[in-house]
Structure formats: structure tokens, C-alpha cells
Amino acid sequence: MKRIVTPSALFLSALLLVAGGAAAQSAGSADFSRYVAVGDSLTHGFASGGVVGTVQVNSYPALIAQQTGAPDFQQPLISEPGIPPLLALVSLVPGPVISPRSASPGAPTNLNLPRPYNNLGVSGFRVHDVVATVTGNPLIDTVLRGQGTALQQAAALRPTFVTVFIGNNDVLAAATSGRVIEGVTLTPLAQFQADYRTIISTLRGVGANVAVGTVPGVTAIPFVTTIPPVVVDPVTREPVRINGQLVPLIGPNGPLSLADRVLLTASSLLAQGVGVPAALGGHGNLPDDVVLSAAEVAAIEARRAQYNAVIRQAATDFGAAVASIDEAFANAAANGIGVGGGIEYTTDFLTGGLFSYDGVHPTPLGYAVLANFFIGAINARFNASIPDVDLFPFVFGPDGSGGATVPVTGSGSFVFTAAAESSFRFWMRIPTKQQLDEAERRRRPDPGVGSRPAAPGGPRVDPAAPRPRRPARGR
């Protein structure tokens, strides 16, 4: 069922809040007098390939703080055009081109806050980073500032309430790099479990109530689902058919199946004809780095399900609320999100309104929806009546700035440029193609001079069924 929020309901809600005051915003048994958020880029407020204050003010933790009246909620804000500079549509003709909007980054605006930030989400963080990492790149340093790990800083604030939304990057690297490598692009389950339970037990140990979020489907995000595994007419944007049959793109091992996925990073190659059959004017094979086989998708999703089982069990054991982001996202991907008046938002790339230009992170509207998923879970667990974030300004007002709803009606296919890909990989701490090649080389004996070792089709859970790979072509 779609989540329906009508303008009239939003207006009535606003009136009730004004009339009801604090009573309408009861947090029940939850205390938000010292609210802290721990997580990754989705907590940090990352959007369109970077972090910038105009989006951070609408991060889901900032919106929860707003709705609960949490005092002095501080974030590591970044000036325009962001760190790194956010992605933008630099051209619409002949087709949309997505690339960094500037060569010069922004800067922190409150770097000298004399205490840890309340929002300790760090872009690119995996679960282990929360308990172990203190530095790594300039964006990490703008959050942690040499004051210890995210978990240490969160505990030092003696929080009364903490939201924990971490685990996405423990599978995201596999989905966005096209490589499923245990211990490299996938976190081993035992390590994930140990680190996750350390986080929750530590926070509960300092007296905080906790709400956790599950990991959504990383193989169902626009970065993975936008480009079909078949040839598409660049003018009509409809699949090409020959004798009534779809024409598969050519992947690293030959024609792709409909169950395979082609990543957003393949767009620049496809624009050059790479992966298009020679009979239609194309040449060569799409490299493995821009393709996920059906087996790899299954392996990623199986590991994600295991992570979510760990998260839900930890929540049960430590009395935390669970925001089932995995289920909510699956519903949004299948049915969209309606806001009344015939207006509906979807997970479609560029036109859907919920995902930003990087195809992975939400728009401000998407973050508002995410905040409401958390609020619903908190209300249910702690007998609270925290009001939902009003979506009306994000749809019709200035809070929707930085979104990615684009009328893609011109001819030509979109291109996610090499500069956009390089920036995204670095700041999200996704291993480079060369690093992944080396990781695979180390894990398997070289079968012969001049040949690249085969890599697995899953997280080495079934080594008897490896997936052969062709040498990656340069871009």
C-alpha cells in the first residue's frame, strides 16, 4: 500500500501542532534532551555525490531533532558547493550529462565546535569504522576531528537517545563496483555481528535509548536498476526489438540475461557503443566492473538479509526500536510514494524525486520520508506521539532545493561522467578497479601468465561455482 499524505492532512497536522504545543509532540518514554545520530552517508546527509549544508539541514537526524525539540543539535556543516562538489546536470541536450558542478570544494562552517557533533554519520563508513576509524580522508576528518572514533564521541556526549543507521556500505561497495569479494566489498558476517553488537551495547551502557535502521536493498537503487541489460534506442528510450525479440547488451562473458544488472557507470561506455552488438553498430564487451550478474545480485541480497537479521536481533536483545527501512524502501520501489492530489514520487533515476543525482542517496524529500520511517518506529516502541515531518514544503517549497526531479524529454541517453564516477568512488571509499583486481589476484593462484584469475560470483559462499571474468577494459 502506498503511503498517502494529502495536502489537507498536512495542513491539519500543522494546525494541531500549533494548537497542541508540547503535548502533541510527546516522546513517551524516549528522552531527546541529548540526541545523537550514528551512521554512514545516509546519516551524514550525503546527496548528489557530496555533502553540503543546504541538504544537511534536512538530513533525517536533523529532521528528527526538529520534530522532537532536541536542543542544540549540531552537525558538521559544509559550505557550497560541498565536499566534494555536488554533482549537477551540466547538459540536457542531446541527453542529460551528470558531472561535478565545480572543481573547487566547499569548507566546514563550524569546525571549531568544542564538543563532538550530535550527527556523527560519516560518509563511506562501514560498521567496523564506527568502532575503529579515526581518520582517512578530509570528509571523515570534518566529522571526527581527531577526537576519537564515532562510537567514542557518541558515548562521550552521554546521550539520552541515539539513532543508529549503519551497514549500508558493508554491501554497497559490491553493488556499485560490480565485484562481490568477501572481506573487500562485502564485510564478513561474523565481523559485522561483533561490531554491530559492540555499538548498540556501548550506547545502551551509557544510558541511551536506541532506534536502529535496517539495510535497504542496495541492488534496487537507481545506480543499479536504471540501465536495462538490453539495447535501448537513444532517441525513443524504448528497448530495441529485432523480430520481436529484445537485444541483450554484451557483458564480460557474452550476452546479458534479463536478471543481470548494468550499473550507472556503464552509461559513458554505452554512449560510445561499448557493449552494443556489432550488428547494431557497437563494439566490444562491457567490463565486469559495470555489470552485476544475477548470481552476484543474489549473493549481495543474501548477505544483506543476514545483516538485517543481526540488526533485528540486537534490537530485540537491547530493547531498541527498529525502523524497517528495508521493507519501507521495497514498498517505495514497487509502489512509489503518493503525497495526494495525484502527485507521486518514485525511485526512478532523475525523474522520480526520491533519489539524487548519484543514484544512491536521497534528495531532501527522500530524507524527510526516511525521517518519518524512523519516527514511526520510535513512536511504536516508546509510546510516543512525535509528529511526522511535514512533506508539503519538500514538494512545493524551498526545502526541496537540491532535488533531482528532471523532465527528461529530449533525445539522447544520459551520461554519468568518468569524473562523477571517480569522485563518488573516492568519497564513498569504494575500492578502485585496480585495487579490486589486486584483491582478486591475491585470493586466487595465478592460473597462467597473461591471464587474469577468475573471481567468484558471490561472497565465496559457494567456491565450487566461480564466475569467470574477462580482463577489464580501460575506460
Q: What is the pLDDT of residues 56-69, one digit of tens each?
A: 999 999 999 999 99
All cell numbers assigned to 461: 559462499
- 31: how many CB neighbours lie within 10 A of its CB? 17
Q: Burial letters for 306-329: b for 16+ Cβ neighbours within 10 Å, e otherwise? A: bbbebbbebbeebebbbbbbbebb
Classify residue 48: in a domain, yes or no: yes
Predicted confidence at residue 17, as pLDDT, reads: 37
Residue 404 CA to its chain's centroid (Å): 15
Q: Is the per-residue pLDDT at 293 higher than 80?
A: yes
Classify residue 429: in a domain, yes or no: no
User: Which of 296, 256, 249 shows the shortest CA–CA distance to 275?
Assistant: 249
Classify residue 54: in a domain, yes or no: yes
Predicted confidence at residue 90, as pLDDT, reads: 76
Classify residue 419: in a domain, yes or no: no
Q: What is the CATH number of the domain that holds 115?
A: 3.40.50.1110
Predicted confidence at residue 26, as pLDDT, reads: 79
Number of domains in the chain: 1
C-alpha to C-alpha distance for 123 and 42, rounded to whole angstroms: 7
C-alpha to C-alpha distance for 261 and 172, rounded to whole angstroms: 14
Q: What pTM does this model have?
A: 0.85
Expressed as residue numbers, the domain containing 77 is 7-223+294-400
CB 252 within 8 A of CB 291: yes
Classify residue 306: in a domain, yes or no: yes
Classify residue 193: in a domain, yes or no: yes
Q: What is the pLDDT of residues 209-248, one digit of tens each?
A: 999 999 999 999 999 999 999 999 887 889 999 999 999 9
Residue 431 CA to its chain's centroid (Å): 16
All cell numbers assigned to 33: 534532551
User: Which of 44, 39, 75 shows the shortest CA–CA distance to 150?
Assistant: 39
Q: What is the pLDDT of residues 104-163, one digit of tens each?
A: 999 999 999 999 999 999 999 999 999 999 999 999 999 999 999 999 999 999 999 999
User: Which of 158, 206, 213, 209 shows the shortest CA–CA distance to 29?
Assistant: 209
Q: Which residues pair with 83 in a beta bridge?
A: 51
Q: From residue 461, give the alpha-carbon distance in Å to each of 181, 307, 436.
A: 10, 15, 18
Q: From residue 357, give the alpha-carbon distance in Å to each of 14, 213, 221, 273, 386.
A: 31, 23, 12, 23, 31
Q: How do beta strands 291-292 and 261-262 pair?
A: antiparallel
Q: What is the pLDDT of residues 316-334, one digit of tens each?
A: 999 999 999 999 999 999 9
- 420: how many CB neighbours lie within 10 A of its CB? 26
C-alpha to C-alpha distance for 234 and 267, rounded to whole angstroms: 11
Classify residue 465: in a domain, yes or no: no
∠473-348-44 over CA atoms, to 5°? 80
In which element (H, E) is residue 109 found?
none
User: Which of 370, 366, 390 shows the shortest CA–CA distance to 9?
Assistant: 390
Q: How confident is the model at residue 102 (pLDDT cuts 50, 70, 90)?
A: confident
Predicted confidence at residue 457, as pLDDT, reads: 38
Rg (alpha carbons) of the chain, rounded to whole number: 22
